Each structure stands twice: as C-alpha cells, then as structure tokens.
C-alpha cells in the first residue's frame, strides 16, 4: 500500500496476470475522501456488464441502488451486503469512456479513493485495459421538467446524442457557472475528468470538525474562500467547479445506464437531487431503457 503522506500522490500501477484475463489488471490505490481509510481497487477485464465487487461479493451496475448522498454517492446491492461509497468519479470515468461492458472493479475499503479529485486516474486505469466502448443504456423519450428542492432538471429528446449542461449558482463572480458535455470521449478525458473536487472554506471546517477528509492530497481539492481560491498543483480555472459538478452528474447518471441519449439541463444539481430526479424521470416516462 502506498503512503500518500510520503509519496504525495495516488497510484495507478500495472500488476501481473493473476485474474484469468489475457490483458492483466490495473491497481488503483489511495485514501477515501470522507473516511480517510486506505482504499485499493483492482480494475480488470471481465465478460458481461460492468460489475463492482467487494468483500467477496459482486453485482452488476444495474443491481445497485443509491442509499446515501451525504457529500458523495453510496450504493449497495445484495440486500446491503455489498456497499461502496464515493463511487461517482469512477462511474463518471466509465461513462465518459463509454464502458458499459467488460470491466469489473474490485474494491478493498469502505469507499473509492479520492485520487486526483476528479476522474483522470480512473480514466487512465480503465483505458489500459483496452476495452471496446459501447453505447448508453438510457434514452430521453419525452420532455420533462423535474424540480427537487432547489435543483431543477430539464429533459428533452434531441435525435440521439448526449447533451448535458450544468449550471451552478454559487454567487461568486470568480467562478464560471456553466459547463457542457456532448458525449465525446476525448473531450471527457481532456476537459471533464481533470476537474477537481471543490469545497467552500465552511465545508472544509465542517468536515474537519466531523473528523472527515483525512489524508486528502491538497492537489486534489480546490477550496473557495472569501479572500482567495486555494489550489495546489495545477492552476485553478474559473469553470473548474462547474466542470466538476458535470463530472458528478455524469457519474450519478451512470448508475441507471446513462448519461442518456438526449438533452439534460441541470440547475444546481447535487447527488441527492440527481438520484431523486432520475427516479421521477423513469416513473414519469421521460427516461426509458434502450
């Protein structure tokens, strides 16, 4: 296990062939954003739909359900026996690369590691397996407007292309409020995946009081304070928070087989709101499987 306090970064390393796959596997190691616990994920090729495994159990993505959205997305399957937290960045990488089949992620730890704060390390790991992309499993079939608290989601068919837009309302003139993605895999890797987790100074203080966010590499997080925007490593870009919210949205949509073919405009999206909006959209007939 790599000590991030010493190395200063997460790892993504090839391991020898031990899983019965012809292409081997990739190990991703780091620490959980909220628990601070060490996490190790083996990403390897497999037959059939994408699966997640932990504690000797595994399940297909479509067998999972969202059970918690407290600052991250936690999913479970097998009646709660299989439970993994902070899945949204790994799921976003799978969605962004168009991977719905041929991969299993075997997780050791209570949550996925925070890694680079975005999805770039996940993209690198998945891409090394050279799994052929496939299409989304979901489509927008009719127009709908869904409000969940302060969040609003507008859906519309558009001829069969992915078109996602996120709009923030941070009331901060230093931050651009809009980010969009049209489903291009290279654009996802170059522009969306590198967008780091962000938090306000008040969020950071709250996490510290709760004993959370231990072992976080400062380079993986952007902190929006009143007097300055704090970021280590790569320079901050004004649209980075919006791009990260877009990344989170892509990851949360993946659980249902998305992002769907069609147009979605999300105003003030969040993990809880997106999970509820997805349920409503399916129930109302705005989203349907392909």
Q: What is the pLDDT of residue 17?
A: 32
pLDDT of res. 193: 97
Give the list of residues 6+ apart from residue 131 with CB closer than 8 angstroms, or none: 45, 99, 101, 102, 103
What pLDDT score was predicted for residue 171? 82
User: In this predicted structure, what is the pLDDT of residue 62?
Assistant: 92
Q: Please indicate whether residue 271 is annotated as part of the active site.
A: yes
Within 10 angstroms of residue 167's Cβ, the number of other Cβ atoms is: 17
Distance CA 194, CA 157 (A): 29
What are the pLDDT digits (tens) for 149-187? 999 999 999 988 999 999 998 888 888 899 999 999 999
Average pLDDT over residues 81-99: 95
Note the pLDDT of residue 207: 64
Three-state DSSP class for residue 98: coil
pTM for the structure as a whole: 0.87
95 vs 10, which has greater pLDDT? 95
| The predicted structure's pLDDT at residue 72 | 82
Q: What is the DSSP-derived secondary structure letter of residue 63?
A: G
**Over pLDDT 70: what percentage of the chain?**
87
Tell me the pLDDT tens digit for each residue of 34-71.
Answer: 777 889 999 999 999 999 999 899 999 999 999 988 87
Per-residue model confidence (pLDDT) at position 230: 78
Which class for 18: exposed (0-12), middle (13-18), buried (19 or more C-beta within 10 A)? exposed
Catalytic residue among 34, 89, 244, 271: 271
User: Whole-angstrom Cα distance, residue 154 to residue 158?
Assistant: 13
How is residue 111 annotated by DSSP? B
Spatial distance between the Cα atoms of 46 and 69, rounded to a whole number of angstroms: 29
What's the whole-number average pLDDT of the chain?
86
- Give the tens place of pLDDT for each residue, 206-244: 666 666 666 667 777 777 788 887 788 888 889 999 999
pLDDT at 234: 85
Q: For residue 202, is pLDDT > 90?
A: no
């Amino acid at each position: 296990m790599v000590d991030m306090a010493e190395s200063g970064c997460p790892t993504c390393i090839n391991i020898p062939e031990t899983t019965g796959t012809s292409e081997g596997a990739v190990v991703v190691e780091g620490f959980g954003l909220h628990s601070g616990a060490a996490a190790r994920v083996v990403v390897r090729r497999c037959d059939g739909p994408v699966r997640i495994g932990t504690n000797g159990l595994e399940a297909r993505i479509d067998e999972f359900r969202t059970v918690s959205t407290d600052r991250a997305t936690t999913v479970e399957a097998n009646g709660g026996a299989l439970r993994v937290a902070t899945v949204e960045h790994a799921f976003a990488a799978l969605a962004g690369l168009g991977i719905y089949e041929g991969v299993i992620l075997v997780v050791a730890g209570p949550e996925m590691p925070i890694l680079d704060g975005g999805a770039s390390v996940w993209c690198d790991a998945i891409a090394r397996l050279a799994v052929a992309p496939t299409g989304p499993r979901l489509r927008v079939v009719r127009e709908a407007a869904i409000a969940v608290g302060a969040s609003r989601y507008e859906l519309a068919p558009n001829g069969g292309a992915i078109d996602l837009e996120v709009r923030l309302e941070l009331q901060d003139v230093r931050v651009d409020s809009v980010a969009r993605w049209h489903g291009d895999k290279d654009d996802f890797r170059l522009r969306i995946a590198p967008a780091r987790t962000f938090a306000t100074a008040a969020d950071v203080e709250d996490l510290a009081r709760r004993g959370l966010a231990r072992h976080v590499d400062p380079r993986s997080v952007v902190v929006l304070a009143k007097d300055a925007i704090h970021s280590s490593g790569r320079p901050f870009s004004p649209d980075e928070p919006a791009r990260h919210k877009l990344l989170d949205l892509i990851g949360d949509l993946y659980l249902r087989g998305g992002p769907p073919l069609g147009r979605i405009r999300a105003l003030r999206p969040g993990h809880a709101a997106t999970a509820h909006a997805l349920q409503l959209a399916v129930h109302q007939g705005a989203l349907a499987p392909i």
